[in-house]
A and B are shown apart, each in its own frame.
Chain A
Amino acid sequence: MNKRNLAIVIVIALVVVAALIWTALQNNSGAAFAALDNVQVGQAFLDRLTSIPNSTFASVGVGAAGGSIKKISNSPELTLGGKPEVLYIGAEFCPYCAAERWPMIIALSRFGTFGKLHYMTSSSSDRYPNTPSFTFYNSTYTSDYVAFVPVELTTNRQINGTYPTLQTTNATEQQIGAAFSPNGQVSFPFVDFGNRSVLSGSTYSPQVLSGMNWTQILGQIYQSNSTISQSVVGSANLLTAQICLATNNTPSRVCSQAYIQRIEKLFG
């Protein structure tokens, strides 16, 4: 055996390890989060995000969620393919959309299955820069109970002072946004739950997610007493109740939960 060769192997390995550690230290920062933009979310992460125990949902209830959800009366149902439609209008740059996608994914996953979700951060030059989130652009969603239609209007990186367009709303979606928004100005995120209720803006502040990476946020979601859980899980329960109202409380395994019924009563 050759001591010199062994020493070389040791030196090379130590240099590699030091470089990896240094890189890892750099990567836990807001600007570095953007390196994950458009990287597909792994199945293991997605499974964990969508496997929150019912006991956690029940324990949090509405939690610290709030925001502006309004009941809609005397409007025809919004449907697609025979199912109530949940229409989301937002943008990748938008920090409030970034915050809201977490509970939206959790809530919608109780009615169906997401695929091809990708990581995304909010704009680095807006309030709450680089908020860790996801994008609904190019994602898939399948459900027996609800049709989810996401529209991400722009990217999160300015070019010549504007955010490039990703998707556009059709005439119906524009009408809906204008009709149910204060002063006809759509606030992002805008979510229409089958024309039974609408959300304008986020149900909690993106500040709650500040300084955390996706893994840390996910870990905190499971701690029902944490600020993040109270905000994200509380919001997910609020959104779940809106979806239940749109689907006439199906499936019952979700909508008949006592904490969902209590929230539904808040909206008459």
Chain B
Amino acid sequence: MMLAKNAVKYQAVLVVIGLIISGYLTAYHYFGGVPLACSDNGVVDCAAVLVSPYASLFGIPVALFGVLFFVIAIALLVLRSREYLLYWNTAGFLFLFYLWFTELALGKICIYCTAVHAVVILLFFISLFTSGELKE
């Protein structure tokens, strides 16, 4: 099947995209002067999400956790560890529910965050559908 045959390539592309966006959001958190090309009023308000208390966990920017997530995903892809990549992508997918809760609490959406969420969702489903038979 096309998906199974090219899963690694698709995931590699997605991981790089996720890493670039997470890196950009991390730079915005630390350097502020990085321009944020995004609406700043209405429901789509990237700055409101990115400067909120929810943008950090235990004092560390959530975006940096994103960078870490994609770096580890790259490592697992390089090691061709489909099983651990599935576990990792599953954990990342479930973590999205917390991030969606925070956007709901703020009443704001960050389009860059949404792009990263989409990457994680795709990574999860590619891993799930190409993981082969799951043993008991």
- On A, residues with C-beta under 8 Å from B are 1-6, 9-10, 12-14, 16-17, 20-21, 24, 27-28, 36, 39, 42-48, 213-215, 218-219, 222-223
Contacts and interface: CB of A to CB of B under 8 A. Distances in A.
B90 A9 contact: yes
Contacts of B24: none
Interface stretch (B4-12, B14-22, B96-104, B111-119): B96-104
- If over half of B's interface residues share one DSSP class (helix, strand or loop), that class is named, otherwise mixed; here it is helix
17 contacts: A2-B83, A3-B134, A3-B136, A6-B87, A10-B90, A10-B94, A14-B94, A17-B94, A21-B101, A24-B105, A36-B53, A43-B31, A43-B33, A47-B33, A48-B47, A215-B52, A218-B51
B37 to A, nearest CB: 14
Interface string B21-45: 0000000111111000000110001
B98 A2 contact: no
A10 to B, nearest CB: 6
Contacts of B40: 222
A45 B51 contact: yes
Given A43-B30, A46-B32, A215-B51, A4 B136 contact: yes
Nearest to A5: B87
Contacts of A27: 53
Nearest to A223: B41
Contacts of A215: 48, 51-53, 106
Which of B50, B51, B59, B90 has the most A CB atoms < 10 Å from its CB?
B51
Contacts of A214: 53
Contacts of A45: 51
